[in-house]
Chain A
Amino acid sequence: MADALLAVSGLKKHFPIKKGLFSRVVGQVKAVDGVSFEVRQGETLGLVGESGCGKTTTGRCILRLIEPTSGQVRFQGREVTQMGKAELRAMRREMQVVFQDPYSSLNPRLTVGSMLGEALAVHRLAKGAAARERVAELLTLVGLSPDHARRYPHEFSGGQRQRLGIARALAVSPKLIVLDEPVSALDVSIQAQIINLLQDLQSRLGLTYLFVAHDLSVVEHISDRVAVMYLGRIVELADRATLYRDPRHPYTQSLLSAVPIPDPERRKERIVLKGDVPSPARPPAGCRFHPRCFLAEKLGTLARCSAEDPELREVAPGHWVACHFA
């Protein structure tokens, strides 16, 4: 696709399990195991899944905060995984990240002003008075006061701290921001404020978001397209309306059935999955979802599901599903 800002293909991250005196590798945790997707210029791609499904690792591999085991990450047509030190540093200006925990993501010993000033200094964007002006501008941009530059992180509330995290990411004027569960640690009322801020910034600055989350209603609100991950793989990818109206993958269906609907009159069928997510160190053979799949049970075609790994295929224009029976 021509207008893809970011193209990920076959991305894998396997963490070795080491044991013993000489750190013998006894296995691999396949945190991310062959993930491919594209993020288009100016859109928000939601990446959802349960905890431990590899969505955070995917985000960090894209930024090369974790070195991917294999696969390609192309950002603006350039291969990120092959970049040398200098090139990577330059690339960091274009891609930024906002973290989940607004408490551990800010250095308690730096004032807001020096934290943001440092981000500017690293890429030699502004110095002295110009830097102070830019810091004030950034703080205003995220809904804080320029006056806050002198304060330390502990003087702010959780929501304000998350705004600071966003300001830090914006400091270098990036094109893409990986939002790693940016609202999961916040109160519901604050969540809405941050989401609105993010949407506002996107339209004003023309940002592109990769929005990682586990909360489906939040993702529905902010995303243009949504990718659902299960055990290190993408199982379904479609634009938001399609995915929420017509989920094809049984896992997506069960996830959506669990979203609470604020309407006491409406009753709905809840699909409750059996068992737990299998260990990513020993994923099931065939379709990774088959041991918990209600569809496989209903259809009675377990043989194919446990033998053959379903490809992510396009069942309708722009609607990709990894299931034999979708």
Chain B
Amino acid sequence: MTEPVTRIERTPAQLFWRQFQRNPLAVAGLAILLALYGGTLIAPFLAPYAENDIDRTRFYHPPTPLRWIDAEGRFHLQPFVHPTREVTTSRYEEDRSRRLPVQVFVKGAPYRLWGLLPSDRHLYGVAPGERIFLLGADHQGRCVWTRLLFGAQISLTVGLVGIAISFTLGMLLGGVSGYFGGWIDALVMRFVELLLSIPGLYLIVALRGVFPSDLPSHQLYLAIIAILAFIGWAGLARVIRGMVLSIRRAEYVTAAEALGMSRMRIIIRHILPNTLSYVIVAATIAVPGYILGEVFLSFLGVGVQEPYASWGNMLNQARSLASLRYYPWMLFVPGLAIFLTVMAFNFFGDGLRDALDPRKTPGGKG
């Protein structure tokens, strides 16, 4: 091939990344998501305590501030905290006379990373027997930061796995329904309408009833995903069907037929990719829906059960007025985590859509 080297060769992936980088919010969203999901991978290491480490002497302990300057006004390079003691019920006071230096890579509760690597090192901690609650403790004296990290393992993956299931289902069924039409279309769409016509709340509770109430935690987790994915695909399938109906009349689809392509290939290669810009945004908006769906199930008491943590049951424990007034960290820590995740997904989704749209990719005009 004789080709004048007038332009730098770029793979589609490079073009995509170049375009994605132009949107700072999207990059920020991606960074936050990477940090969040990275954090869940090494949660037992980042957390100073075990998931269900109860301290009966420190119920509702407020966040302990990190300090560099002691009571005498001396500066310490290594941050420290003051030990606390309970003055009245759930009221704590710092003991300014003692310093507890914050150490890194301390020995603590043993755990197995990814179920394989045994370790007992934690990113930070204080001397044995003392406590550090950077984000406070809950009603059982458990470290909120620790619970947040372990809860993220459930809350953040519910969305991804759920989306993967429901979107595969929704796109395929919607695509087939729109492309083939006729009785297939009628059958799929009537089923979709049946699902959509039942109020979500009853549907979730009814579906939850299908599973035994005393499931082990990992099965319960799968059950929650199954329930949410089962409800989630219907609405998407209907929108995809509508889009496919219009796209299949486009002449490039007829051209593909004239070239003798198989129907499945036409659906997967020509029709569904043209629904992508919608699907990506829908998916990124749906992820928070799954996180909130888990919150909702936990709120009803049929979601992730104590002693396991999820962002949903953390919020659930903080739903009283008293906690808002006296122990706001129990509410705001998981609340902010959910807010941050939802925003990050939305910004990331926006950037992804723009970067995947070939009409917006630069460097085309020669």
Contacts and interface: CB of A to CB of B under 8 A. Distances in A.
Interface in A119-171: 119, 122-123, 132-133, 136, 146-147, 150-152, 154-155, 165, 168, 171
Contacts of A231: none
A172 B259 CA distance: 8
Candidate in B255, B273, B276 with the most chain A CB atoms within 10 angstroms: B255
Interface string A101-121: 100111111110000001100
B274 interface: yes
A152 B364 contact: yes
A65 B1 contact: no
Contacts of A63: 258
A203 to B, nearest CB: 24
A88 B260 contact: yes
B72 interface: no
B361 interface: yes
Nearest to B366: A147
Nearest to B4: A147
B259 A154 contact: no
* Band of interface residues on B: 20 to 34
A151 B362 CA distance: 11
Contacts of B274: 107-109
A124 B40 CA distance: 47
Contacts of A101: 251
A96 B258 CA distance: 7
Interface in A84-103: 88-90, 92-93, 95-97, 99-101
A151 B2 CA distance: 17
A97 B361 contact: no
A106 B260 contact: no
B260 A122 contact: yes
Given A146-B3, A152-B361, A89 B260 contact: yes
B182 to A, nearest CB: 10
Interface string B229-259: 0000000000000000000001110111111
Contact of B258 (A92, A107, A109): A92
Contact of B251 (A96, A104, A110, A152): A104
Contacts of B250: 104-105, 107
Contacts of B4: 147
Contacts of B270: 107, 110
Contacts, number: 87
A119 to B, nearest CB: 5
B261 interface: yes
Contacts of A97: 254-255, 258
A112 B261 CA distance: 17
B260 A136 contact: no
Given A109-B358, A147-B6, A154-B359, A119 B259 contact: yes
Point out which of A104, A152, A165 has the most chain B C-beta atoms below 10 A from its C-beta: A104
Given A109-B274, A122-B260, A151 B359 contact: no
Nearest to A168: B255
Nearest to B365: A155
Contact of A123 (B9, B257, B260, B276): B260
A122 B273 CA distance: 19
Contacts of A106: 252
Contacts of B12: 111
A105 B170 CA distance: 27
A111 B365 CA distance: 13
B269 interface: yes
Is the interface on chain A under 10, 10 to 19, 20 to 34, or 35 or more residues? 35 or more
A280 B7 CA distance: 54
B257 A65 contact: yes
Contacts of B252: 104-107
A147 B3 contact: yes
A99 B255 contact: yes
Interface string B253-290: 01111111100010001100110100000000000000
B257 A146 contact: no
A16 to B, nearest CB: 13
Interface string B312-351: 0000000000000000000000000000000000000000
Given A99-B255, A146-B1, A168-B255, A108 B260 contact: no
Interface string A164-191: 0100100110000000000000000000
A104 B4 CA distance: 30
Given A99-B254, A151-B364, A109 B273 contact: yes
A119 B3 CA distance: 22
B1 A133 contact: yes
A175 B82 CA distance: 88
A132 B1 CA distance: 8
Contacts of A123: 259-260
Contacts of B364: 151-152, 154-155
22 contacts: A65-B254, A90-B260, A92-B258, A97-B254, A99-B255, A105-B255, A106-B252, A107-B252, A107-B273, A108-B274, A108-B358, A109-B273, A109-B358, A118-B259, A146-B1, A147-B6, A147-B7, A147-B366, A150-B9, A152-B358, A155-B364, A165-B255
Interface of B: 1-4, 6-7, 9, 12, 250-252, 254-261, 265, 269-270, 273-274, 276, 358-359, 361, 364-366
Interface of A: 60, 63, 65, 88-90, 92-93, 95-97, 99-101, 104-111, 118-119, 122-123, 132-133, 136, 146-147, 150-152, 154-155, 165, 168, 171-172
In order of increasing CB-CB distance, the 5 nearest A-B pairs are A92-B260, A105-B251, A89-B260, A152-B358, A155-B364
